[in-house]
Amino acid sequence: MARRMSFSIDEWYHCFNRGVEKRNVFENEVDANRFLMTLYLANGTEPVSLYNELKPELKKAFATERGKPIVAIGAYCLMPNHFHLLI
């Protein structure tokens, strides 16, 4: 059953997720870079194309115009089997 949650402007939220059965969600640096690239590109008001590259290029993603950010990302931490975001 889904919960409805309301968010407030100018508040910080700790968001996290973990792999099923504590399995790794990031097997290598390429996986982690793809996550960061998607996190950056999806946090914007303009539609963007995700790169279909075997090895994501963060510099290329960060140079892409994505519009105004939807949320501020204050901090993040990527661990092999989970991640944390402070948004």
Strand-by-strand arrangement of the 82-86 sheet: 14-18, 82-86, 75-79
pLDDT at 54 over 60: no
The residues, ordered by sequence, that sit 6+ positions from 77 with a Cβ below 8 Å of its Cβ are: 83, 84
Distances (CA, A) of 19 to 22, 54, 60: 5, 22, 28
Taking only the tens place, the pLDDT of each residue in 67-86 is 999 999 999 999 999 999 99
Taking only the tens place, the pLDDT of each residue in 3-41 is 787 888 899 999 999 999 989 999 999 899 989 999 999
What is the distance, to the nearest Å, from the Cα of residue 76 to the centroid of all Cα atoms in its chain? 9
What phi-psi label fits residue 67: left (phi over 0), alpha (psi between -120 and 50 degrees) or beta?
left
Is the entire prediction scored with pTM above 0.85? no
Please state the φ and ψ torsions of residue 41, each to the nearest 5 degrees. Answer: -70, -35
